[in-house]
Structure 1
Amino acid sequence: MLDALLGRASLKERIDELEEENERLRNRYEAESERRSEAATARQDAEERVNRLEDRIAQLEGELEQLEGDEAGLSVRRRDRLRGSRLEAVVDRLTSFRTDPEGALTAILREDEGSETLAEAFDVDLETPLGDRAALVDEAAPCVLCLDDAGLIAAALEPPAMPDRALADDSRIAWDDRFRLEREWFLPTGRYALALVRTDLFALGTYADGDRVDYRGFESDVKGNHSKGGFSQARFERIRDDQIDDHLERCREALAERVGDDIDRLYLVGQRGVVETLAEDASLEPAGTAAVDATGDPKSALEDAHRSFWTAEFRAF
């Protein structure tokens, strides 16, 4: 009765309502925090599964190639996709090899080059150390071939950043007492930038020895592959092309703004046609390009693209 007369009853009711609302918000916050934690854990688990599946796929591809080679009577001794510490260990072993003067061949083979190219253009006979297995080199190009004259080492690596295609022939084929391999062909060294470009997404990372130190990314509103809402196909395609052009212009501006003299090298990855168009229109000279299938938001897609790019195909003959 007294509370009602003093107006405290309504205040107490309001306090009870606010406390209930506060409790609901606290429960919602705790549920959201738990959901975010579970999402982060799920993402880490998914990344681990992806890595395991990629390794398994590479293993199965190697086994398939071996089976196919067995049918033809030839097969590589080993085939694998290497990255990170595994790739670094292989490169270190190859570069530490020493032999007699002109006993180690390093050959940078472009696409569609192989044993015949080496024999006819450079007078390099692969049949002496490799025998019939010399034919397997043709399937490995483009690659960097490492072979000693005794046939003890016969391996090919397709590096993430193939050496400059403008290299003179006498620089592509070299006999020495060691294999001439540059670490920057295979491993993330120095200060470089890697840009992921799709028709609707752009992500640019600046790295120092493989560690990202700067980032810029965005997504653009680009229509899908099929028209909706009554658009004619021609009109739909014109609108989509204009949206893609606007997106690529944003990409060019971001590259011009972020990639400066402090960057040693630029790598472009993503959708093949988009990468080629951007490199040409922006007058870029990337140190390497690659088609990668990286999905998700810009930052996570960039992480996937960076890991995928710095992966090398390895074959032992």
Structure 2
Amino acid sequence: MLDRLLGRAELRERADELEADLAGVREERDSLERQLEAESDRRADAVTARQEAAERVNRLEDRIAQLEGDLDRETEREELSFRGVERLGLDAAERVLDTLDGVAPGRERALTATVGVGDGDDGDGGVPTAAREAFGDRAPLLSRATPCVAVTDDDGLVSAALSPPVSPAPRVTWSDGFELERSNYLPRGQYSLAAVRADVFAVGVYEGRERVTVEGFRSEVKSDHSKGGFSQARFERLRDEQIDAHLDRCRTALSEHAVEPLYLVGDRAAVDRLAETATPTPAATDAVDATGDPETTLSAAFREFWTTRLYLI
């Protein structure tokens, strides 16, 4: 009986040892499971981080490619230059138009295309598709000359753009010769030209290049800067009132003396304000640097307005 008891005791001890071993194994198992879960989380985080890094790399590569493309285009634009640029007075403009009229490339081999004018068939950069294709690598130069009329032929013997005083109607045409409306470049028939500044106004009626009548005046308007005695705000208010009164006189003079078409030029701020309500409505406006008494201002404005800029592409 004692042996049996001793045997049971040994079995109990052995069972306790096994229980202890089992607890240790379970703890080790749980630890390994936790490590596996942590490793799985780290692996998932690593995969996510790798994907995000790959996306950032792709975005950066795309941005670099875009910037390199922009740089290449900018370099091309910088390397491109006009073969020549000239300001043509009336006589010179007429000679150029005569020369272009004499060019006859053949049936539908001469392109005339407006660039940056009205609602024309503008393609990339405001240049009509036909002009971009015809001028090829030098087409970006047309954007620098806008608004203009581009002319070229199939053989590339003519490659130029003209910016006339009067904006032409939008057109893109292939024809036997260049289609240039001379009244956009040269004064034709009867018209009015008015020059306005903040304190000076003159309007003339013309027949072609000859001035038939002229009306003008100078208004009392304070200078741009206060000379003392007034607060700046009061000075500016008084000056604005004087300019308003001057422009009212200009509107009255236009309604009484101007004929259509009316071309209104002068100081840009004064031109813009007067053009909004002028009668007749101006057919063209422009900023010109013309100064002096009314008649001198008008004469200088006439010469500057009737100037065509020629770009050799």
Measured in 2, the distance between the counterparts of 1:83 and 1:120 equals: 27
Alignment of 1:261-300 (within 5 A): 263-282=259-278, 284-300=280-296
Matched letter for residue 186 of structure 2: L
1:213, CA displacement in angstroms? 0.9
Report if aligned partners of 2:109, 2:153 keep a CA contact under 8 Å in 1. Answer: yes
2:218 aligned with 1:219 = yes
Contact 2:121 2:128 (8 Å CA) reproduced:
no
1:256, 1:119 → 2: CA distance?
A: 40
Q: How does 1:183-222 map to 2 (within 5 A)?
A: 183-222=182-221
Q: What does the per-residue CA deviation read over 1:227-275, in whole Å, with 9 as the maximum and x for residues that have no partner?
A: 234111111111111111110010000000012xxx3411000011211
* Equivalent in 164, 178, 188 of residue 159 of structure 1: 164
- What is the alpha-carbon distance in structure 2 between the residues aligned to residue 184 and residue 134 of structure 1? 26
What percentage of residue pairs aligned between the two structures are identical?
Answer: 49
User: Match for residue 255 of structure 2?
Assistant: 256
Alignment check: 8 A CA contact 1:161 1:186 kept = yes
RMSD of equivalent CA atoms: 2.6
Counterpart AA for 2:210: D
- Structure 2 match to 1:311: 307
How many Å apart are 1:99 and its aligned residue?
2.6
Contact kept, 8 Å, 2:195 with 2:264, in 1: the verdict is yes
1:114 touches 1:137 (CA, 8 Å); kept in 2? no
User: By how many angstroms is 1:114 displaced?
Assistant: 11
The amino acid across from 2:154 in the alignment is D
* CA deviation map 1:173-220 (0-9, x unaligned): 122111111111101111111000001000111111111110101000
Amino acid at match of 2:227: K
Residues 67-82 of structure 1: matches in 2 within 5 Å?
Answer: 72-82=78-88
Give distance in 2, aligned partners of 1:282 and 1:136: 36
2:135–2:152 contact (8 Å) kept in structure 1: no
Report the CA distance between 1:79 and its aligned residue: 1.2
Structure 1 counterpart SS, 2:88:
strand
Query: How far apart in 1 are the matches of 2:269 and 2:203?
Result: 18
**1:137-163: CA deviation from partner (whole Å, max 9, x where unpaired):** 221111011111221111101001112
**Which of 96-105 and 78-87 deviates more?**
96-105
- Secondary structure at the counterpart of residue 307 of structure 1: helix
The residue number in structure 2 matching 1:117 is 123
Change (3 A) 1:122 1:136: closer
* Bigger Rg, which one: 2
Residues matched between the structures, number:
239
Alpha-carbon contact 1:113-1:141 (below 8 Å) kept: no
Which ranges in structure 1 are unaligned for 5 or more consecutive residues? 1-68
Question: After the TM superposition, which of the residue ranges 303-312 and 91-100 deviates more from structure 2?
Answer: 91-100
Question: Where do residues 5-16 of structure 1 align in structure 2 (5 Å cutoff)?
Answer: none
Q: How many Å apart are 1:71 and its aligned residue?
A: 9.7
Equivalent-residue separation in structure 1 for 2:126 and 2:114 (angstroms)? 15
What residue is the counterpart of 1:126 in the other structure?
132
> Once the 2 structures are TM-superposed, how far is the Cα of residue 113 of structure 1 from its aligned partner?
10
Normalised TM-score (structure 1): 0.69
Alignment of 1:135 onto 2:128:
no
* Residue ranges of structure 2 left out of the alignment (5+ in a row): 1-74
- Deviations 1:267-290, CA, capped at 9 Å, x for gaps: 000011211111102254322111
**One-letter amino acid of the structure 2 residue matched with residue 239 of structure 1:** L
| Alpha-carbon offset, residue 112 of structure 1 | 11
Counterpart residue number, 1:102: 108
| Alignment partners' CA distance in 1, 2:76 and 2:127 | 30
Give the whole-Å Cα distance in 1 for the aligned partners of 2:199 and 2:263. 19
Change (3 A) 1:105 1:71: closer
How far apart are 1:95 and its partner, in Å?
2.4
Alpha-carbon offset, residue 119 of structure 1: 9.2
Hey, what's the Cα distance between the residues in 1 that align with 2:164 and 2:97?
10
1:88 aligns with 2:94: yes
**The residue matched to 2:139 in structure 1 has which SS?**
helix
User: What is the TM-score of this pair, normalised by structure 2?
Assistant: 0.70
Give the 3-state SS of the residue equivalent to 2:215 in structure 1: strand
Relative to structure 1, the CA distance from residue 112 to residue 285 in structure 2 (aligned partners, 3 Å threshold; closer, same or farther) is closer
